[in-house]
Chains A and B, each alone.
Chain A
Amino acid sequence: MTNPKIAIFDLTDCEGCELQFLALKEKLLEFANDFEIAAWRLVQPSENQLPKVDVAIIQGTIVTAKDQEIVKKVRERSKILVALGECARTGWIPAWIKKENQEEAIKYVYGPEYKPKRIDALPLKDLVKVDLELPGCPPEPKILEQFLEKIPELIKTNRHSEQSEESVANATSQTN
């Protein structure tokens, strides 16, 4: 059996969540042997920035059009999508500026001439289905370790549920 493929993506954020993986130190290397890390911009170049993976881990708030595009594409190309940290889960501090106050806030920071990249500040779940949330600002390394240990099991469960969905679909089509 080939190693599970995982990828780590960052949207608009402080990158503190993904740095917590480095806090796993020696254990991070063990995990790197257990998985194929298909994309992780902060740590390595990748042939494909948005590869098809078993597990995609996304941190950060959806702020720009590019952030939106990344989230949608990653959802299409991953079996399990994980929201890492409070920005991905809730939008967190960037979302304290509501859309109706955004223009004024941008003017305050950048002046009147500036053309922003910001569209809104949204959590992942506002745009795509999220399979698992890892809470914390940032999540404690222990939470990440437990999650990484659980990945083979998550993939297995996911495969079963996909199969049962398929069989339900088949059964339905037969009765029709």
Chain B
Amino acid sequence: MLPEYVTKIEGHGVLNIHFKECRARLEISEGERLFEAVLLGQDATRAPFITSRICGVCPTAHNLASIKAIENALSIKPNPITVELRELMLSGQIIFSHLLHLFFLVLPDYYQVASALKIAEKFPAEYHIALNLKRLSDKLLTVIGGRPIHPTLTTVGGFLKFPNKGDLVTLREDINEVLDEAEDFVKIFANISYPSLERKSEYLALNNGGYTFYDGEVLSSSGKKFLPENYKNYIKETVKDYSTAKFGHFAENGGFIVGALARLTLHQEKLNPKAQEMLKTIPHKFSAEVHNPFHNIPAQAIELLHFVEESAKIIDRLLKVNIPTTPPKPAISKPSKPTWGIGAVEAPRGILYHAYEIDTNGKIINADIVTPTVQNLTSLETDAEDLLRTLQLDQNDQKVCIKELEMLIRAYDPCITCSVH
């Protein structure tokens, strides 16, 4: 018999519940592709091509974290236009991934339909909005990165091709056209009543002063700070016998949360204006003191609007500068001694670390990739058990428990292929 894979999540996991012992686990059973071992012996400049293929949902995030890691190791400083374009891509990446999760994976749970294709039949207006947002994110990722899944135009040091102004002007107009719809999209998720579950947690997000997503130091809700370069001192991974994904822990505290919920909570006053307005309509507050994992859903919705606005802001800045037809090509020299480089970005699901050691021939001799889902897995297990305990107090039948636990898993938006990689 085949295991009952949880549907409508990214990758293969089985929900294993022991009702008597009150234990609930998402057992990750995705096959090991061994990306870190694949990288060994490769030319470092080839890593972004390889590592974007870790994930079809957030390939641009892996691609950029990989590029940043190599640039850090080889002391390459990309020019300001390159950085702006990367931020624009990453912004498009977050819209792309949140949209997929919110509309295609999560919403059927709350609309009481089997799949997003059924939403299309029953709620055609909502489906229409979702497709227009998808069109925008696909176009953003195509104009800047070459295509939405597995970018083709990015490279260590910069870009193989810069977009022309005409394409950016059209993109800017497209954003204007969908801005109202993006607000309507957030309203769908703002008006849902989510299951209640509450405990104190710890949230981690990058911070450089704004609603950070491309760089910065790591900030925690309890006030701890560290540089991404030092992640190994703070983020520990353990191997478990029932999971092909490792489990992340933060220092001595154990479970923690990264992703939309952590970012929104830590940076809520820095949201763009329309997203800020929408935040006011949400009936609960976002705080690590009263962590409810289901609130990751409205947090992602608000972020989606924020990043549509953010994309417009970045394009407006780019339209004011002269974008050269030929991108600059910084010299790439091999390190004089084996050197580590670490790159971190906010992927849609949270902080993503890529770390490589590069030898004097420019080859990768060590690689470590820590994905957001791995960092969230410990908390997911805690929340699953808390939820099961709460449900059992109400003496719900087992089917209700299973359904609600699956909803919890979906709310976490685990990216299982990322977590195993």
Given known pairs A19-B100, A32-B117, A93-B53, the reply for A42 and B10 (CB within 8 Å) is: yes
A105→B57 CA distance, assembly (Å) = 25
Docked pose: A9 CA to B138 CA in angstroms: 24
B residues 203-251 near A (Cβ < 8 Å) are 239, 241, 244, 246
A50 vs B8: C-alpha distance in the bound complex, in angstroms?
16
Q: Which of the 9-residue segments B31-39, B260-268, B303-311 touches chain A?
A: B31-39
Q: How far is the CB of A59 from chain B (nearest CB, A)?
A: 9
A70 touches B55 (CB 8 A): no
Please list 27 pairs of residues, one from A and one from B, whose beta carbons are closer than 8 Å in the complex, sorted by A's number: A11-B31, A14-B56, A15-B55, A15-B417, A16-B53, A20-B149, A22-B104, A37-B117, A41-B8, A44-B8, A45-B7, A45-B8, A45-B114, A46-B7, A49-B2, A49-B4, A61-B31, A63-B32, A66-B2, A73-B2, A93-B53, A94-B38, A102-B34, A109-B36, A110-B246, A117-B31, A117-B32
A66 to B4, CA, bound (A): 12
Decide: B32 and A16 in contact? CB cutoff 8 A: no
User: Which A residues touch B100, using CB under 8 A?
Assistant: 19, 22
Question: Which residues from chain B sit less than 8 Å from chain A, CB to CB?
Answer: 2-5, 7-12, 29-38, 40, 50, 53-57, 59, 100, 104-105, 114-117, 120, 127, 131, 134-135, 138, 148-150, 239, 241, 244, 246, 417
What separation, in Å, do the CA atoms of A19 and B137 have in the docked complex? 14
Chain B residues, Cβ within 8 Å of A19: 56-57, 100, 149
Tell whether A16 pairs with B31 under 8 Å between CB atoms, given A29-B120, A43-B117, A110-B239: no
A23-B148, A97-B38 as given contacts; A14 in contact with B117, CB under 8 Å: no
Q: Are A114 and B2 in contact (CB under 8 A)?
A: no
Residue A158 interfacial (CB < 8 Å): no
Provide the bound-state CA to CA distance between A18 and B7, in Å.
14
Most A Cβ at <10 Å: residue of B7, B10, B134: B7
Contact B135 A25 (CB under 8 A): yes
Q: Which residues of chain A from 1 to 24 have a CB within 8 Å of any chain B CB?
A: 10-20, 22-23
